Amino acid sequence: MQEQAIIKSSISKQIAEQLRNAIVSGRFKSGERLPTEDELATRYGVSRATVREALKRLAAQNLVRSRRGPAGGNFVNQPTHAELAESLSGAATLLVGLGALDIEEIVEARRTLQGGCLKLAVVNASQEQIQDVETALQLQKDPALSDEAFCDADVAFHRGLVDASNNGMVRFVMYSIIEALVPITNMVVSYVKDRREIIAFHEGLLLALQQRNEEGLESALDALLDYLMERFSVAQAQRKQHAS
Amino acid sequence: MQEQAIIKSSISKQIAEQLRNAIVSGRFKSGERLPTEDELATRYGVSRATVREALKRLAAQNLVRSRRGPAGGNFVNQPTHAELAESLSGAATLLVGLGALDIEEIVEARRTLQGGCLKLAVVNASQEQIQDVETALQLQKDPALSDEAFCDADVAFHRGLVDASNNGMVRFVMYSIIEALVPITNMVVSYVKDRREIIAFHEGLLLALQQRNEEGLESALDALLDYLMERFSVAQAQRKQHAS
DNA sequence: TTTATGCTATTTGTCTGACAAATAGAAGTC
DNA sequence: GACTTCTATTTGTCAGACAAATAGCATAAA
C-alpha cells in the first residue's frame, strides 16, 4: 500500500519522474529499449502526447535517446563523457549567462581547485593522454583558425589537461569550470588579437606535464589565469567605452 | 547569408535550442513571460504539440516554469540554488547509478579537491555560515532521526562546509561531489548502526572551522573519508555474503 | 551465390482540433 | 466595501491521423 499522496504536478512530469527512477534504479538497464510510446500510454492510461512530453524531459537530460523505425524506440542512454560534459557546460554557461556567477568567482574557483587536479595529473597521466594534450595544442596553433575555432581548441586543450588526472569525477567537475571560463577566453581572444601569448602559456603547461613537474604546472596555469584576468578587464573596459 | 546547414535533429529539439539560446543570451530576461504556446507555434510554423515538447525539454532543465490561466504562461526561471543543486545531484546520482563512476574515484576526487575548498573556507567563512554548519550538526545529532533523515542531515552539513567557501562556482562543483558520495554514506549508516563516529568527525570539522585551522580541517576530513571507505568495504563485503 | 531492389510493418515525429482545468480580472450582488 | 459569479485566457491532456525513417524480408537481377 503505497501512499501515492495528492500530487499537484502535471501528469507528464510525474511520468517523467517514474521513468527516471526506473532508469536510475536500474529497472531499465543501460542501452535497453523502453516500451513503445503507445504501450507506455496505455500502461499509464494517458495519451501518447503526454508520454512524449515525459520522454522529452528525459531526453533533455540525456537519459534517453530515440530512433524511428521497427527496431527503433526510446532507449536508455548511457551518457557519453561528451554528453555529460555538454549538459554540465549547459548548466555552467546558464549560470554565467544569468549572472548567477561572476567571472572573478569562476577564476578563483579554478585557482582553488586546480592544485589537486594537477597533482593527480602528474601522477596518473598516461603517455597517450599527454600525447592528446600535445595534439590539441598543435591544432590550436593553426593560424587559419577562426576566433570561435580557436576557443574550441582552447577548451579541448584544457579538457585534455584534466583528462590526464584519470579520474572521472574530477573530470566531470573540472569540465564545468572550463566551460564556465569560456566567455572570458572568448572575449580576450576577440579583443586582444594576439594569440601567441596564450599559445606560449599552453606550451609551458605541456612541457611541465611532460616533465611531470607539478610546481611548473601550477605556476604556468596561475600565470595564464593572471594574463586572462588582466586582458579581460581591459577588454571589458573597452567594450564599456564602445557602448557609451 | 547564414548557412542553416542540413539539420538532422527533430524540430522540437531545434526549437528548444533556439529558445534556450534566447534565454541564455538574455533575449528573454529572467522572470519574463515567453509568448503563449499558440503564438510560438504560429511563429515557428509548427503545431502546439511540437512547441510543447520543446518547452518540456527546457522545463526539465529548470529553465522555464509554466502556470495556467490568463496571467499564466511559460516564464523564464531564474534557477534557485536549491534547483541547481537538485539538477546537479541528479546528474551525479545518475552517474553513480549507471556505474560510470566508481566509489574509489569519487572519494579520490573529494580528497583531491577538498584542499583548495577548505582553504577558501577558513579565509572566507562568515560567522553566520559557521553557525549554519553548527546548526546542521545539531540537527544531525538527534537520535530520533531515521537513517534517511540522518543522511539528509549529513548532506546538509557538508553543503554548509562548502558554502563557507563563499564561492558560487566552488559550491556548484562540490555539491555534485557531495551528492555522489551519498550512496556511500547511505550504506555505511544502514549497515554500521553506530552514528557516533560520524558525528565525532563532524564535531572535529566544526571545531577546526571555528578555529580557522586549515590543517585541522583537512586532516579531519581525511580521517572521515578513511573511516567511510573502510566501513564501506566492510558493508559491501557483508552485502555480498548476504546475496550469495 | 551474391548483390541489388522494392515492399511492408513498426515506431517515432508532427499536425489538427478539441475539451478540461486553472485562474486573473471584471462584473454584478448584497 | 466585501463577496460571489462570470468570462476570457492560457496551459494540460486527449484522440486520431498522417509523414518519415528504417530494419527485415522477399524478390529480382548479375
pLDDT tens, A40-99? 999 999 999 999 999 999 999 889 999 999 998 999 987 776 677 677 777 777 777 777
Residues B76, B83: contact at Cβ < 8 Å?
no
Report pLDDT digits (tens) over B105-164: 999 999 999 889 999 999 999 999 999 999 999 999 999 999 989 999 999 999 999 999
Identify whether B29 is part of a domain: yes
Is residue B208 included in any domain, yes or no? yes
Q: Are strands A73-76 and A64-67 parallel, antiparallel or unpaired?
A: antiparallel
Q: State the residue for C-alpha cell 539528509.
A: B152
Residue B4 covered by a domain: no
How close, in Å, is residue B165 to chain A by CA atoms? 10
Over chain A, what is the mean pLDDT? 88
> Closest to B24 (Cβ–Cβ): which among A93, A114, A172?
A93
For residue B24, tell me if it sits in a domain.
yes
pLDDT at A85 (0 to 100): 67
| Residues A32 and A132 both lie in one domain | no
C-beta pairs of A11-17 under 8 Å, 24+ apart in sequence: A11/A46, A11/A50, A12/A50, A12/A51, A12/A53, A12/A54, A12/A57, A12/B56, A13/A54, A13/A57, A13/B59, A15/A40, A15/A44, A15/A46, A15/A50, A15/A51, A15/A54, A16/A53, A16/A54, A16/A55, A16/A57, A16/A58, A16/B60
pLDDT of residue A1: 32
In chain B, the number of structural domains is 2
Does residue A4 lie in a domain region? no
pLDDT over 50 (residue B94) = yes
Residue to mutate among B56, B66, B163, with most A CBs inside 10 A, is B56
Residue A3, in any domain of the structure? no
Strand C: which of residues 25-64 in chain A lie with Cβ below 7 A? Answer: 34, 36-38, 48-49, 52, 55
Residue A6 lies in a domain: no
Same domain? For B50 and B166 the reply is no
Task: Indicate the residue among A61, A76, A91 that finishes a domain.
Answer: A76
Same domain, A58 and A87: no
Inter-chain CB proximity B59 and A57 less than 8 Å: yes
Amino acid at A57: R
The reply to whether residue A168 touches residue B84, judged by beta carbons under 8 angstroms, is no
The C-alpha R_g of chain A, in whole angstroms, comes to 23
- Per-residue pLDDT tens for A96-113? 777 778 889 999 999 999
Of A20, A49, A46, nearest to A34 by C-alpha is A20
Instruction: Let me know whether B115 and B229 are in one domain.
Output: yes
- A47 and A111: one domain? no
Residues B90 and B42 in one domain: no
Q: Are residues A158 and A211 in the same domain?
A: yes
Categorize the per-residue pLDDT at B8 as very low, low, confident or very high, splitting at 50, 70 and 90.
low
Please answer whether residues A55 and A37 qualify as being in contact, where contact means their C-beta atoms are separated by less than 8 angstroms: yes
d(CA A214, CA B127): 35
**Within-domain flag for B5:** no
| Same domain, residue pair A92 and A209 | yes
Containing domain of residue B61, as a range? 11-76
A135 and A47 in one domain? no
Name the residue among B46, B47, B50, B56 with its Cα closest to residue B20: B56
Strand partners, A65: A75
Residues B221 and B103 in one domain: yes
State yes or no: pLDDT of A5 exceeds 50: no
So what's the pLDDT on residue A8? 66
pLDDT confidence of residue B1: 32
**pLDDT at position B4:** 41
CATH code for the domain of B26: 1.10.10.10
Domain finish residue from A50, A76, A102: A76
Q: Indicate if A16 and A98 belong to the same structural domain.
A: no
**Nearest nt by C1' to A73 Cα:** C11
**Protein residues with Cβ atoms closer than 7 angstroms to any atom of nucleic acid strand D:** A 10-12, 45-50, 53, 67-72; B 34, 36-38, 48-49, 52, 55, 66-70, 72-74
Measure the CA dihedral B82/B83/B89/B95, to 10°. Answer: -170
CB contact under 8 A, B91 and A109: no
A110 in the same domain as A49: no
Subunit contact B170:A101, Cβ cutoff 8 A: no
Calculate the CA dihedral of residues A156, A158, A163, A168 and round it to 10 degrees. Answer: -100
B139: nearest Cα among B128, B125, B123, B150: B150
pLDDT tens-digit series, residues A142-196: 999 999 899 999 999 999 999 999 998 898 889 888 988 988 898 899 888 889 9
- pLDDT band of B85, cuts 50, 70, 90: low
Q: Are B75 and A139 in contact (CB under 8 A)?
A: no
A242 vs B17: CA distance, rounded Å: 30
